[in-house]
Each structure stands twice: as C-alpha cells, then as structure tokens.
C-alpha cells in the first residue's frame, strides 16, 4: 500500500499496522528491532547479525563507499572490488588517451603489475554506527534560539566525533535523521591505494548510452573492477609499490544459480538523497517549475557537448564522463515528472495533509504542538518561491561554466595557501579534460538563458556591456572574454602559479583584475546582496518546520513504518525479482538476454554498437559456465527501493550471495526519490553471470574469476 494512503488509513483504523513490503531504505543497525522477521517471511535465510554486527564479520564488512558517490563490494579475499562502469569511468578516463583509449577499447590488467593506480580514488568501510541522539541533544532547552540551538548541536557532534576517532586512524560523522529528530554516529575506515584492474569497453559498459539510460529493457554490462591495497600490516596507506592486496574482513560469495521471478532480493549501499515527506507545494513546484527549467538548461549544454564530441576523438574522451554526469540527471528529471504526474502525487500529498490535520485536531496537546504546521508550510513556500528560482538558475547556468568552477577552485586554494605543486597538479587535471570552444559555447548559451529567465535586478554588470558593445551577442562576448583571461589557457595559468609562488600579492592583483574572475564576482555580489542571506534564513525556518512535521508523523505512526530519507549513509532495502506494466497494454518481464542486445544492434543506432568479439561469442553460443539453455542472461529488475548512490550496490539473494550489480532505475519509477509506487518502481541490475562472462570469455581474464568464491546451481 502506498505510504500516503497508509497514513490516511492509520487515522481511520486506530491501532492498525499495515506492512509495506518493498518500500523503504532501512538503517542496518535497526533491522533486528523492526524488520528481520518481515524479511525472513519474505524469503531471507539470514539473521540480523549476518547483515549488520559489530561483534562478528558480516555483510556490512563487504560493502564500501566507492569514490565519493557510489557503492562497491569486495568479491575476493585479495581486495578485488566490483562497482559500476559509470562509477569507475572517471578513473578509466584519467588513464585514457587517443593512443590508449581505454574508454572505447576497455582495459584488463593480466597481472597485478599491470594494475593502474588512481590518486583521486578511495574506498571507505563503515566500521560501526551508533545512536547518539541523547548526546547530541545534551544542553538543548525548549524555546532555544534556532541558531544557538544549531551551534550547540554542532559542538556536541564535534565532541562525539573527537572521542570516536581518538587514538585510531578512523574518520567519523554525526548525521541527522528524520529532519533532526534523531542523530547517528558513523565511524569509517578509508583505503587510499585503489588500482584499476579491469573495465569493458564503453560499448559494453555503457551499451545503450543515452538512448537506454533510465530505461527498461536494458542490456548494459555496467561494471568495472578495482583492487584495494594496504601496507604490510593490512592497514590503509598511500600508494606504494610495497603495498599488498588488502585482506578484507568479509567478501561476497557469487551465486551462479541465477534468478527467477519472485526471488527475494536485498540491496546494501549508500543512497544519496531522497525527499519522501515533502509538502504538496514543494512537489507541485518541482513538477511545474524547478525541474522543467533545469531540464531545458541541460538540454542546451548536452547539445553543445555532443556537437564538439562528435567532431573530435580527443574531445570525446575529455568530455565523456562530464556528458554522462549532465545527462544522467537530465533524463531522470523527465522521468520524475512523468511518474509524479501519473500518480497524482500532489493530490495524494494534499490528502495526506488533510488527514494529518484531522489527527492533530483530535487532541488539544497536539493542536498546541502541531496545529499551525500546515499553515506555516504554505507561508514558507510563498516566501521561498523567488529565491528557489534564483538558486536553481545559478546552479544550472552560472555553475555550468567550467571556467567559473575553476576560478572558484583557484580562489579556494589561494585562500588556504595551498602548496604550489598542488596548485600545478590541479591545473594539469583541469586542462587535461578542458576544451575551450566547448566552454565558450556553454558560457554564451547559459548567460543568454540567464538573461531571459531572471529579472534585471539579478543581472550582472557585464550584461550591459554585452548589449552595448556586442549588440547582445553573448557568443561574441565569450570569445573575447576567453581570449583575455589568464585561466582559459594552460600556459598562462602555469605562469600565474609561478607568480603565486614568488609574489602572492601580485598574483592576487592579477586574479582580481582577470575578466572571468570579475564576471563571477559580479554574480557572487548579486546573490550575496539579494538572495543568499534571505535564502539561508528561509531554509533554516524550513528545517524547523519539517523537523516538527516529522516529529508529528513519528508520533502518529509506529517508527518501523517511517524510514528516514537517504543521506549517504548505509541503507538496506529488500524486495523481489519482478516485472511491471508501465502503461496500458505493455508488460515488461523481469530479465533480458543477449538476444535482445543483438536485436538492438541491428537497429544501427550509434548507442547500440557491439564489439565484434562479443558478436562472435553470441553467434557461437560460447557462453561457458554462465549461459542458461543456450542463452546468456544480461540484466534483471527487482522491486528494491534505491536511489542515486546505490550505483554499484550488490543485489543479494536470500543467502546473502551476489546475484547482480545495481546500476539504475527504470524511467517511469525515477520519482521514487519523492514517492515510491510498488507497482512501478524497479531497480535495474546487471546479472552477475553476464559480468563473469565478460571477464572470462570476452576479456580472457579468467584468473580474476578464479579469485572469487563461486556458488553454482545444484
């Protein structure tokens, strides 16, 4: 049953407890208390301690934060990590060139000596978590000034973290849950020597590309392999040839038995952000205003990048990862609008709010605490409207310009007194993947869009110059701007760093007078004077209203039914392998095979190119141990509740064995960040059998499969 209807029925049926299978991103530490019996009834054959424990090795100890935004899992006792191709793409791209195009051709280390180090990549383990709500709340009193209250919370959190990491090499965070109605401590261990082991070519790892992104049926082998290294004591260390493959506490067993519709599935990972408890006005604004504007701006950026990438292999390599980052959200947002409108979520939210108000009015004490919350929401969103539009426009147009982001990075390094060598290294990384004509075109398009969408009050001074001296031609202005700035050219940027190394005052003067820096400063000044402070004030008020609203919802409901929004902490979701019906007359089965991949290939679409070796393996039915009755499984879908950040998460069977690698959701269900529909929301995974088939039969790297613990069907 949908969550909104559940809350309504909760009021009408006192004491009822309606279980909702599939929906929810649950805190692993709490599954023993709230969920293990339901999970076991759904098919799980593990105990709560098998999943999360601080007293024994468990599934938690095989799951890592991969890089800064994905999930990965240990799949061997020799430090082998599996994650998505799109999660490893930045590392793959960093080693690629026109001469060694690992994006197009793939990369496979055939020995440990051939594995490639990645200075910007790490993997991070959750070692334990702890409820610290009481400690964080120490010293808080009723009626406390909100800013003073937050300062006290921050002080308490700092002390909790200090105690957690004292005398060890761990890091820690205190994170709010339920809009600050609860707090948990997370203690992590980070490993910094992570080396690229293997990646299929993009034609496999991103098969279907934009055409298939967020879509089902899917035929994408979205995976890559890395290895974690540690020092002689099996402890985290910087890259060194003396390091050894890390011996993890736990690694996953791989199940070659395959999947059937209705099979239990479980996902462990690090979903980034959800907003399940939004007010109806927030959802309406998202559907009608915010997302359409963002989609339009990104459409322009993608068209510009695509034009330049098609004209040059060098630019294609430089911008492949950037393009994917921009297009991923662009297409997701379109699916969110579709799903939210189809489910009439604004109306459902209004029904939920009416039911909430009815519940409040049934008790005088509740009226005192919560009686004005919905009215406060209405006033809040009226006040917020103009600031939200400006903030979105700034993020999607001004911050779309690479050179603006580079200027901000340089300013930050100068303020921190960053070492010259580190500044040079940062410059080198920037220019390796920077093509000036792309950014000139994006600058011109985004500034033109900003001028049209934003009132004159928010226009920077240089817009007048564009109108007066360039007859309103932003592209002509951009060409001149980029020819004058120090920071659009690698050589002149290097000279700036040299100046910084000998005369910081002179460098500061150059920076302040640089035309691109002046443009950005004009935007910054506008927002500082007209938007930033007021927006922060409103956001602070919004946090307080949502905190009170969430406290009321927790009071209304058994806490076991209200999962906290995702916030980049480890979560568990469970469901089943299941197809769905996206629209009338269309029914999707839950699995795909290479037959469908080859049918797409025949369409001749550029996104459906297939390597000739893969074609030969298919035509010869040379599937090795991984095929089933003459066919080769590729992907499957399940009803697990996932979000961004779950990319690379393991999909596990009832025994906790690896059956797939999560990499996407289907388009019609991308609204699950805001509203989960069990009939429509599905996560997409590459079947582990296809992963192993590509490693073994396509790449000839079977030695990697030999590292793994493989469970075969009986």
pLDDT of residue 349: 96
pLDDT of residue 21: 57
DSSP character string of 499-543: HHHH-HHHHHHHHHH-HHHHHHHHHHHHHIIIIIHHHHHHHHHHH
Sequence-ordered list of residues with C-beta below 8 angstroms from that of 76, at least 6 positions apart, any chain: 251, 707, 708, 709
Lowest-confidence segment of 272-286, 558-572, 578-592 by average pLDDT: 558-572
Spatial contact of 676 and 343, defined as CB atoms under 8 Å apart: no
Does the pLDDT of residue 561 top 90, yes or no? no
Q: CA-to-CA distance for 112 and 703, rounded, in angstroms?
A: 11
659-691: pLDDT as tens digits: 999 999 999 899 999 999 999 999 999 999 999
State the catalytic residues: 86, 222, 647
Report CA 534 to chain centroid distance, whole Å. Answer: 29
Share of the chain above pLDDT 90, in %: 86
pLDDT of residue 292: 97
Sequence-ordered list of residues with C-beta below 8 angstroms from that of 590, at least 6 positions apart, any chain: 259, 261, 577, 578, 579, 636, 637, 638
| Confidence at 321, pLDDT banded by 50, 70, 90 | confident
| Confidence at 8, pLDDT banded by 50, 70, 90 | very low
Q: What is the CA radius of gyration of the chain?
A: 26
The angle subtended at Cα 381 by Cα 24 and Cα 1, nearest 5°, is 25
Q: CA-to-CA distance for 469 and 480, rounded, in angstroms?
A: 11
206-249: pLDDT as tens digits: 999 989 999 999 999 999 999 999 999 999 999 999 999 999 99
pLDDT of residue 583: 87
pLDDT of residue 89: 93
pLDDT of residue 2: 45
Q: Tell me which of 22 and 461 has the higher pLDDT.
A: 461
Phi first, then psi, for residue 619 (nearest 5°) are -65, -35
Q: CA-to-CA distance for 103 and 224, rounded, in angstroms?
A: 11
Q: CA-to-CA distance for 302 and 467, rounded, in angstroms?
A: 26
Lowest-confidence segment of 50-54, 295-299, 382-386 by average pLDDT: 382-386
The helix/strand/coil state of 393 is helix
């Amino acid at each position: 049953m949908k969550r909104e209807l559940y809350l309504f029925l909760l009021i009408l049926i006192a004491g009822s407890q309606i279980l909702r299978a599939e929906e929810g991103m649950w805190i692993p530490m709490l599954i023993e208390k709230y969920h293990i019996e339901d999970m076991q009834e759904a098919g799980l054959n593990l105990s709560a301690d098998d999943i999360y424990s601080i007293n024994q090795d468990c599934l938690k100890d095989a799951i890592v934060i991969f890089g800064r935004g994905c999930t990965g899992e240990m799949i061997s006792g020799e430090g082998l990590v599996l994650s998505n191709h799109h999660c490893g793409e930045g590392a793959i791209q960093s080693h690629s060139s026109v001469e060694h195009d690992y994006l197009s051709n793939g990369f496979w280390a055939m020995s440990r000596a051939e594995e490639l180090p990645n200075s910007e990549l790490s993997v991070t383990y959750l070692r334990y978590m702890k409820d610290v709500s009481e400690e964080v709340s120490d010293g808080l009193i009723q009626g406390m000034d909100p800013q003073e209250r937050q300062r006290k919370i921050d002080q308490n959190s700092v002390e909790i973290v200090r105690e957690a990491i004292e005398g060890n090499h761990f890091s820690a965070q205190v994170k709010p849950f339920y809009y600050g109605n609860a707090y948990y401590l997370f203690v992590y261990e980070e490993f910094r020597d992570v080396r690229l082991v293997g990646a299929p070519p993009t034609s496999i790892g991103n098969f279907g590309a934009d055409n298939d992104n967020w879509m089902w049926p899917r035929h994408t082998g979205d995976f890559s392999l890395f290895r974690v290294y540690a020092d002689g004591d099996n402890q985290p260390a910087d890259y060194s040839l003396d390091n050894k493959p890390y011996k993890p506490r736990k690694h996953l067993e791989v199940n070659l038995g395959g999947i059937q519709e209705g099979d239990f599935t479980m996902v462990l990972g690090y979903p980034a952000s959800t907003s399940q408890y939004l007010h109806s006005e927030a959802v309406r604004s998202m559907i009608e205003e915010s997302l359409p504007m963002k989609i339009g701006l990104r459409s322009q950026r993608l068209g510009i990048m695509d034009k330049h990438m098609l004209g040059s292999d060098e630019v294609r390599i430089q911008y492949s990862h950037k393009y994917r980052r921009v297009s991923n959200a662009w297409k997701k947002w379109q699916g969110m609008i579709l799903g939210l409108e189809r489910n009439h979520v604004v109306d459902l939210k209004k029904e939920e709010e009416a039911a909430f108000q009815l519940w409040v009015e049934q008790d005088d004490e509740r009226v005192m605490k919560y009686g004005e919350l919905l009215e406060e929401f209405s006033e809040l969103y009226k006040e917020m409207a103009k600031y939200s539009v400006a903030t979105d426009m700034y993020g999607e147009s001004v911050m779309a310009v690479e050179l603006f982001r580079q200027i901000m990075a340089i300013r930050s390094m100068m303020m921190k007194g960053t070492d010259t060598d580190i500044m040079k290294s940062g410059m080198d990384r920037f220019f390796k993947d920077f093509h000036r004509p792309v950014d000139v075109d994006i600058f011109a398009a985004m500034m033109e869009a900003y001028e049209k969408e934003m009132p004159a009050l928010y226009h920077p001074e240089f817009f007048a110059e564009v109108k007066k001296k360039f007859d309103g031609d932003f592209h002509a202005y951009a060409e001149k701007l980029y020819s004058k700035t120090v920071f659009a050219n690698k050589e002149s940027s290097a000279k700036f760093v040299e100046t910084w190394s000998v005369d910081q005052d002179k460098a500061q003067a150059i920076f302040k007078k640089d035309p691109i820096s002046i443009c950005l400063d004009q935007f910054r000044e506008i927002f500082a004077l007209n938007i930033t402070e007021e927006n922060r004030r409103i956001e602070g008020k919004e946090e307080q209203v949502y905190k009170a609203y969430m406290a009321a919802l927790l009071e209304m409901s058994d806490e076991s039914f209200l999962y906290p929004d995702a916030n980049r902490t480890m979560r568990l979701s469970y469901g089943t392998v299941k197809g769905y019906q996206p629209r009338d007359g269309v029914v999707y089965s839950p699995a795909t095979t290479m037959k469908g991949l080859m049918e797409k290939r025949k369409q001749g679409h550029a996104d459906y190119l297939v390597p000739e070796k893969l074609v030969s393996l298919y035509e010869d039915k040379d599937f090795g141990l991984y095929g089933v009755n003459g066919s080769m499984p590729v992907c499957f879908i399940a009803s697990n509740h996932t979000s961004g950040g779950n990319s690379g998460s393991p999909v596990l069977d009832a025994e906790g064995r690896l059956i797939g690698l999560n990499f996407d959701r289907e388009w019609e269900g991308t609204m699950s960040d805001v509203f989960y529909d069990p009939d429509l929301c599905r996560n997409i995974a590459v079947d582990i059998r296809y992963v192993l088939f590509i490693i073994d039969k396509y790449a000839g790297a079977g030695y990697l499969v030999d590292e793994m613990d493989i469970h075969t069907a009986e």
